[in-house]
Structure 1
């Protein structure tokens, strides 16, 4: 969001209290005595050590905890990823062996001939035709196939076989109940094998009766097939040979090697997120109601990797059916084809937070997940955290006590600062009346106790003191002190009272700022405009020569005075937003600063790239205002005004006035207002030289200036003096004539 800060807008606010009212000095008050005693502690900064101790201990604890956690995470990651990759390599090697064994069986000539004979025998016979001479019955061929495959099955521990034709129909098998059927949900798998790529299926539920581990015949038992193409003499694929594998013999044993710790395991899933290996938590899954409580129930093919939304082991029960729950994070990532790991404590199929690593085997359409419960993985860290949390709790209690004490002291200090201001005494300076106030500070008329010299004293308001405001305040003083031009306001002193009030003293100016000048007396003669602008150029040329850009040149920051018996002496004020061209600009932190009515296009578009020519643009806008009585552009919103500065063409001053203006003056002002800064006068002295060559229609002589001041001095000096901004004349939307500072990258609000 945009953070608009009014920087020394300084609208005139007459002081409600008279200068002659009596006040107690701060030292005579009870608050003053309290602060005086507390000041010793604050001055020695003893109060900061408990906070430093807290910060140091917290920092040490944080780094120790972070270091241990990083080490544990690195070790855990290596363990998970290594185990996952080992399991993957073992499975892939086992799959290759099964494919190789099946391929060697399918490549035997006798088997290929029998399969070809079977397929011929299965072809429909035309009406009235009998079987070809010498063709054996199907039963004989199938018996021959069974006998031919028996030795290979026994040698490689295959538990049965099936022959698939091009229609993916089983045409021969050791299980007669399978003949004539198709294997549901495996069309894509069989198609890949028909394309010539041997493969092994993931476990699936059998559709025929098979013997379980107790010797009972049951359907739905987990089974697998190693499928390879059967080719004819022309090497064309004519059928598939599927050799049955019992998953519990080797497949699940390989995956069970992935157990570690009390809760660590590796399991396999298919593309639907179904568990195709055994879980180590079968007993727990029965207790949790995830799988039925029957003697022959196992987790393989009976559990989907669903996230229940909470820890089932601690009593949580989801409000939806398991099929409606989302997949666990690791299952979802694996099915998407991702290989990775997570230490973030995602829930597993029991709802228990865990850390996991996963991968996907695209050839076999199955995923592997290696995981361990989060509580076991990070148990040492949990113990360490409890110790540190106990320590931090004690430190927090101490910090709260310190914080309360700090607030009390801060309040007392603010009260002390306000009391010092009310007492109208800042160091050697006696304050009289308030002559200005703004977003950051207030300005008082005062005088030095010893020198009796009239002075303008600017101070930070106690309620607005911060590191940033103090920094800007000090910067304004330090930079302005470098400038010696007679047309730049002079700084006499800078200090901080024992109560902590920051202030600086500058020469008291009892003139009128240019905005008030135009609002009270209208557009100014061209000769006077030229003389004023030349003096402004003199002040800015010195600043620019030192590598400083003012960034907030506007009528309200330029005072017109009678100084040393000289009339119309210009003083440039308010260097609070000055920027050094030697400073490194941070492109990632764009700072928009200035007054919208007088900001150059580059100050709006590239505030980190401004230079002295941005001030020259503002000088041209000030001259335009003095000459015509109108700002260059006017708008209802900030966005609209900024856009006009960027691309709108200013109306000629002569057209605004409805009368002629010296062409050279009009040219000089419009040259300053060029959008392309390369077309503007390149230095303030270049602009001053342009102004020197202009012959005004209304020459402004010293006599004319003396006469003006004689007529108006008494009227305009009432309540004036070092006040950067008068009340707005209403020619623009509220706020557009105020100084703003914006830090951010987003466009300003309307």
Structure 2
């Protein structure tokens, strides 16, 4: 890049802040407008937007409901485990009170004294025979209370933990029974205590009525004291845990899966599970009649959900305890509503506590799926809504595609039928990126007409807006040298078209291509007419922005030869203050044909004015005289850079071109880099041309002779830039984004 040019750029003053604010405001406005048009057009996007909005709302609602449910469930679980604990404590207190009352009963104490007296010393073997009557007497004294409180037996132990009396004869004389050690020690230390359930060491009736060993049992124990309040033994009242202890815990069953159960310090369940039948099927309990989980089931985490057929890979004794059991045995009361696995591997939520006095853990659990059932219903409801909305979006999208295809087919059918409203189509004149031009004839006036249609498969909001804008702009112009618009419409099938005057001539691009550079006097004659057309447009505040040889038609109109018609106002930009932002065909981007584009149109497209068209007219004149464009380049970037930096070679020094100095000066003044140095209006340029020696030298006779010697053009058409241009033209549709967008902010040249 030219260092001098860089210096010029760096020394230019920065645009005022208001300019940046205006540009930003305009950009935001365009973005909002385009977004609104897109949403209005693409109906299928609304269900997707609804899905997104519902997802956000659903997430918030789900979070709120989940938080509320968890809070309620937490409160309920905590309340339930607290209630169960208090009920159990009350029951323990009743058992302890009864045991303490009987242990302190005068008759019972006296009988126990007598049993302990007959010459025995602590630790010696007990001789039952001499005290047989005393055992019967003690049994009689305890019978009423035992019956009232549903005790099934008793034991009396001395300080050496010998069983000196019992309702089970097999126990009398036994010492240091492991199952009795803990609660006997506690009682001998002075505590009244209720033991956790444990397997009986004597034959007891089980649930099926048979006498068995290992039947669950528990004792309420209290110390027996002598007259000096010294502990001399222990009275233990035998309890069947399934009668009251387990029944209290079963009150904690909630819904279809909630349960409350107890376990000891080894993690062994000491109450019954509500899932005993299921546990048998899972292989966690033996498959026999009256099989129960009490004292049979270890509260351990299998690591998998066994209810769905999965099985752990290690023995149960090697599995870790469940979270609630491990926490409770560690002495920690707690709560978990996020979910953990129970002894079946099922995800549950629960609360737990530990009763250190009794060595019992108590927990209440509910399956997570039951606890959060409302949340699951909500999720399924939202999922159903999401599915319906997505299906709606797909259905609408498919419907729109089908409708669009049918509309294209209908438009194509209309064109194929060669009938467009009041116009009959006779043949195609040209075709471009956006539209097609046909020769047609009005059914009533029979006047030859050129009809421009939008491509059937390229009709959208932007193309329609572009099309309508082109018609509206051109209709404002009435000069004889500007193409005339007759009609604009849309068929019921959605074919947009406008009718314009039919030009049976040749465009300047084709003129030079076929017949070479033109004589100076004829070039002046053509340029004057272009200036006349442009002066009217500029007077109305419109800039053409795409003046080039292919957009200027040379015709014979009536008896007048060499009549110029300026075409294609599709890229017109309004420059009035009130419509400063109105631009067709590109917003703030580059628009035009690079071979004929002014420096400011490349560097700052938003700043173009009438002098931009003057530059293009100079480039057209250069082409007409020399048969070559002002600049030639290998690529688009190089071409644009030459327009910005490089001075053009005078036409007289290009080949064998003979150009008078006055016309050459006029053309080079149009091609000045600074707009301030160019003719300021099209009329100013026309005055310069009229002062040339060759002005007014091209006569009607010259024109008639030329048209008489040569063909009447390339087939005759009223065309816009959408019609096929010659290969020499570099179209504006090329990718111009290689040019730095910073050029858009360049200041206008000082006038």
TM-score by length of 2: 0.49
Q: Which has the higher relative contact order, 1 or 2, with Cα contacts under 8 A spaced 6 or more apart? A: 1
Greater C-alpha radius of gyration: 2
